[in-house]
Every structure is written in C-alpha cells, then in structure tokens.
Chain A
Amino acid sequence: MTENQNIQASKVPTIGDRQIELLEKLCNATAVSGDEYEVRQIVLEEIKPFADEIKVDALGNVLATKFGRGENRVRVMLAAHMDEIGFMIVKKHDDNLFQFERIGGIDERQLPGKAVLVGREHLSGVIGAKPIHMTTADERKNKIPVDALRIDLGPEIGEKVKPGDRATFATRFKRFGPSIQAKALDNRFGVAILIELLKHAPENIDLLAAFTVQEEVGLRGARVAAYRLDPDMAIAVDSTPAYDLPHWDDEDQNVQYNTRLDAGPAIYVMDRATIADRRLVTLLSDAAQEEEIPYQFRQPGGGGTDAGVIHKTRAGIPSISVSVPSRYAHSAIGLARVDDWANTLRLLYAALVRVTPDLLAGERRG
C-alpha cells in the first residue's frame, strides 16, 4: 500500500468523480447471473490493496474481510450482488438469427427495438420488431410475444456467437443533471458502495464484504457467503424501485410508490423475503437523524434482497437491507440520483461506526 492510499483510506467515504467513473465501469460491464466474471474482475482489482483477506468461493462470490482493531469487534457482513438481469442465447436459426431466454425478471414489453451486447467480446446485436406498416390495429392491442423476437448480429455472424452466450442491454452509462441513466444500477450501486466501505472500513468492526452472485435467479450466492463468513449481523446493500410516477389520471394520487427519488436511502422494514431486525432499523434511522442524512422507509411489501437468505443462515443472523432508490430497474435504462447514492454510502458508514457489541447483546425485540 502506498502512502497516498493510506491517507485516502483514513477518510470518511464520499462520492466524487473517481467513484462516478468506477460506477460507470461497473454498469457498462456485463455480469448476467451465472456469469459474473467481468464485475468480479473489477471488484478484485479495486479492493486488493485494501482488504486483509480476499477469497473467491465455489459459486464465484468475492468475499473480502477488513479486520478492525481492539476487543469485542462485531462481525458485520455487507452483501451486494454483482449479477444483473439479461439474456442467454439458446438457439441459432437458419436465417442467422438467435433465439434467447430472459434471465431474471424482465417484462417482455421492454424487449422490442433494443440494442444488446452479446458474449465476452460484447458483439453488437439488436432485438428488432415487425415494421408497424405490417401490423394491424388489432395486433397492436396485444404484446409482441417474446418467442417471436430474435437477436440479430448481422448476416456474417458465423460461429462467433453460440448457444450459452450471455447478453445484456447495450445501454451506456450517462450522467445528466442530478441523475444517472444506466443499465444494471441494480445492483452496481451496491457493489460500488461496498468497495468504498472496504476502502474506508471503520475500525470498531470486522467488515465482511460479500460481492454475491446469482441474486436475480434465487439469492444463491448470498446463502453460501453468509454460511462461510458466519457474521454477527448483516446488511444487504441493494437498489430498489422508485415508482414515484404520476397516476394516469391527474386526479388520483400515487400512494404505492415503494420509494421516491431525492428522499435518500431506503431502509427496509419488511419485504416478501425478510422481516428486518428492529434493532437494525433503529440503528440506521437513528444514525441518519443524528447525522442529518435524508432517508426513507421503503414501503413494506413485495420484493426481496440477499437478506432473504442471509437471515435464515446457520442459527439465524440479524439482518436488514438498505437500498439506493432507482427508477425502471430490470429494463434497458434505469434512472437514479447521485445524491441518493451518496447519502446511502454516508448512512451506511454512519451506522457502521455506531455498531457496538451491546447492539445485539439482548434478545431480538420488536
């Protein structure tokens, strides 16, 4: 470690040009569930100088530990999934066009007319659609069926693409006004936050960072990561939808927004997979209030994060999730605010420095 890095590492983490550049690199990389190679390489390169121990496990999770100092350190696991939704090529047809399957929850209405990148070489392809001139008004009342869609890489693709190759939307990262527009903000936000926290790990705890795989297809990475790390508590750091859009009828108010942009990090109380440990809800909301960091409670309801499996691992691990709110997850382009991301990082750091053995000493209460 150079002296320069040493000085940086001692500071409280913030979001600046360097962090935005890293997020851009992370979002533009391809890491469809089950093939997280590209993001894993970026993560390993970034954290190598800062972690005390780094392990890539049997499923491809990156597990990095930064030990604190002093007695009675709480072992805190932070989990952020590296994988993203995308596609797998499943069949090459005679006309040089490729059939594909969706990986993760993608609304089929988001597919027609999109550019994609295929395989490790990021070959350009498109998912076309029938010309409107050839459709009837009745036909346009129905969805374009996904099995009618193909990925087209041009007439001379030859053997450069084969069944099994993964693909993602081709969206490139963009910064405009107070916002970011990019693919895979779910969950490169979390990955970027974990990297910063490892670089600025508070000394009162052992920080166990898990960059997990296969979250979008069944929370598989987080389960084995939690088992191996065996933490005292865990926080899943993810990105959650902001449905803060207007109702089609101006008269009606939208009361099911899940989260809202510009309202800060979303603290989870309950989702479909986890009932958060109330002690951790209090830890986070108190830290936010004391540090005057804007925050919101995610509206209790559906959805799930890595915490859904972590809290049931071994004899049980007190768990919670914190997310960066973002719009249009699982589509070609997500949109989120830089400020919400920065405040999520601030909140997590503020909460971690407040973790003491007393926090979890008693019984779970609520």
Chain B
Amino acid sequence: MIDLLEFLKKMLTAPGLSGYESPIREILQEVWAPLTDELSVSKIGSLHGFKRGQGNAPRRKVMISAHMDAIGMMVTHIQDSFIRITQIGGIDHRILPGQPVIVHGREELPGVVVQPPGHLLPESVGDGPVEMKYLLVDVGLRPDELAKKVRVGDIVSYAQTPLELTGEALAGHTLDNRVSVAATTLCLEALQNRFHDWDVWAVASAQEEETLGGAFTSPFDIQPDIAIVIDVCFAKGPGASDWSSLPFGEGVGLGYGPNIHPALYDAFEKKAKELEIPYHRDLMPKMSGTDAMAVQIVAEGIPCAVIGIPLRYMHTPVETVSLKDIRRAGRVMAEFIADLKPDALDQINWGE
C-alpha cells in the first residue's frame, strides 16, 4: 500500500517545472514500475505507464492523463548579487514577495523573492503591487560567486516545505497537479488485484501549464478510445466563493461542459452514486483549463471525462488539498475502469 502523505511529500520535493519534468518523472518511474507492465517516455517527456487488460484482443484502451509539471520561474538577468525572473505558467506577482525559492544553477541555491523598497522602483509603483519585472531573487551569494553559479535561463522553483493541516489537509506548492498524479497512482494500485477488460494507459503529462504539449502528443502515440483527464479544480475559500468553486474536502468534481463527453460524465456520475463517493458537478461552461482541452481534439477526436480534486489557493506556494478527495478520485477512476465492458464504447454516443 502506498502511504499517500509520504508519497505526496516526496513528489513535492521534486521541482519538475514545465519543460523540465525529469526530476518528478524519475520518482514516478520508480513508483509506477511495479504497478504497470511497461513504462515509456514520450518525445516531449511525458511518462506512459501501460497496464494490459485481461479481456480478449483486440482490446479497447482507456488513457488517464494527469499533468506532472509545475509552475515556477526562470532567470532573465543577473545584476550584481541579484537575479531577475519571469514566470513559467501563471503566477500572480502579488504572492511572490518574501517567498522562499530554489534557483537551479550549477547547484541548488536557496533564496528569497525580494520586493525592493519603493525608492528603488519607478514612481508609478507607489505602494501598490510590484510587477514581476521589478522583483529580485537573492540567494545570499556575493556577485562573483553568483556569476559562477547562475545563468540566464536557469529555472527557479518554489521552496515552501509541505505543511500538514488539520482534517487530513495538506498545504504546499505544486499540489497542482501532483495530487492528480497521486490519485492516478492509487488507481493503478487498486487495479492490481482487479479484473479489467480494457488496456489502461496512465500518463503523467508534461508542459500542461505552458503549452499543453504533453496532452497533445501522448494521445497521438497511445490512440486511446476514451480519456480520463484528472486535474485540480477550485475549492471554496477566501476569494473563491461563487458557482465555479466546490466545497473543500467534500468530494470530487466531475467536469461538465464542452470539453467533456456527456455520456462519460453520465457514466462517472452513475459510478460515484453507486459507490456513494461524494461528488459535485463542476461546471466548465467554455473550457476546462485542463489537459482535456488538447486531448479532446487529438487526431479524430477523443471522448474525455474530467475529474477534479478541489484545491484552495491554486498557483500559490500554499495550495491546500484534502487527502480524502485524492483517495476518492483514485477510487472512482479504478472502479470506473474495472467496470468497462468490451463493448462499453457503444454507450459513449450522442443518443442517436
């Protein structure tokens, strides 16, 4: 049995920023090896875990896509003993001042994001938020040492250590989307002792936060009949209270909208009800903001379901999740897959 908390903490220590996923991928290769029949790495750096179905060939294929890449920063300039940065993925510059980071230069350099005092900034900034181009990173090295160890283009990751909160809640950076990688891993584990007709392809995809590069390319390789995309969704919390956020720790989100095939939504809803797994319909009126945006339109098109794990404070270094929802997501995916009959694809239609 995988110790979920320890596994998550281990994954959170690996940077794996978009385009630089190898540190997290190497951890997953080790964990997925005993849970799959074959492992491979795509040209763009996604990890594919293949678990053969027990039905008669030719078998249908279901793909799970959970992006493993993380948001972060990149060095744009070195000035004396300071570093200037830009973002990889979407970061609100207002959460950066005072954040612990690691600059991945010739070695790992711990540092802090610095908001310079007002008199060193353009007057227009006043006492308002300071844009990213004016922020600095200080790793505490003198200029000559810094110049030897850091170059433009080096990546900078969040360094906040994970924190256990009450009620099986965990806070930290990059829970988006390592929680979904964890749920996928729990799903693979649950399928070890289950009969499943279909072939299962678990994908830890690359570059979701920037280009959706993994989500466009892995389904092209794998050619799945259906895809389950799992990502974080918004949990209710400070600043997030309207229809687009779900209660925290009280069930998974089932995505509903144009990226999602309605028959797959229905099938997941039915499965969740049957298993008494709490869920909420997660409305995505225009787009899902997940790998499904790409997976859906690969080749001739692929029917997608979107599973969401509610997360507070998304894209900050203190994203917060409930472990209960990770387990629920893993379970509902495993049960859904184990229940896929050889002819299940016939039900994934438009009711015509």
Question: A residues bordering B, Cβ < 8 Å?
Answer: 95, 97, 107, 109-110, 112-115, 123-135, 140-144, 148-150, 152-158, 160, 169-172, 174, 176-181, 243, 245-250, 254, 256, 262, 327-328, 331-333, 335, 337
A247 to B121, alpha carbons, bound, how many Å? 7
Stretch in B12-20, B97-105, B213-221, B222-230 touching the partner: B97-105
Contact with A along B129-154 (1 / 0, CB 8 A): 11000101011111001000000000
B98 contacts A332, CB within 8 Å? yes
Contact of A254 among B114, B120, B249 (CB under 8 A): B120
On chain A, the residues within 8 Å of B304 by CB distance are none
Which residues on B are within 8 Å of A, measured CB to CB? Answer: 79-80, 82, 90-100, 109-112, 114-117, 119-122, 127-130, 134, 136, 138-142, 145, 160-161, 163-169, 171, 234, 236-240, 244, 248-249, 289, 312-318, 320, 322
Sampled A-B contacts (27; CB under 8 Å): A95-B237, A97-B238, A107-B115, A112-B94, A115-B163, A123-B166, A124-B171, A125-B165, A128-B320, A130-B238, A131-B240, A134-B240, A141-B129, A143-B128, A153-B165, A170-B163, A176-B109, A178-B142, A179-B140, A179-B141, A246-B80, A328-B98, A331-B98, A331-B115, A332-B112, A333-B112, A335-B112
The answer to whether A127 touches B318, judged by C-beta atoms less than 8 angstroms apart, is yes
Identify whether the interface residues of A are mostly helix, strand, loop, or mixed: loop
Q: Given contacts A115-B318, A148-B238, A328-B112, is CB(A262)–CB(B138) below 8 Å?
A: no
Question: Chain A residues with Cβ under 8 A from B234's Cβ?
Answer: 131, 133-134
**Which 6 A-B pairs have CB atoms at the shortest separation, nearest pair first?**
A130-B239, A179-B140, A154-B165, A156-B167, A128-B313, A154-B166
Q: Bound complex: CA of A250 vs CA of B142, how far in Å?
A: 18
Contact of B79 among A107, A148, A246 (CB under 8 A): A246
A-B contact count (CB 8 A): 207
Choose among B168, B312, B315 the residue that contacts A132 (Cβ–Cβ < 8 A).
B315
Cα–Cα, bound, A123→B167 (Å) = 13
Q: Which residues of A contact B79 (CB under 8 A)?
A: 246, 250
Given A113-B313, A246-B80, A140 and B244 contact (CB-CB distance below 8 Å): no
**Chain A residues whose C-beta falls within 8 Å of the C-beta of B93 in the assembled complex:** 140
A124 to B170, CA, bound (A): 10
Inter-chain contact B94/A126, CB cutoff 8 Å: no
Whether A246 lies near B82 (C-beta < 8 A) is yes
Decide: B163 and A149 in contact? CB cutoff 8 A.
Answer: no
Quick check: A262 and B163 within 8 Å, CB to CB? no
Q: How far is the CA of A58 from the CA of B167 in the complex (A)?
A: 40
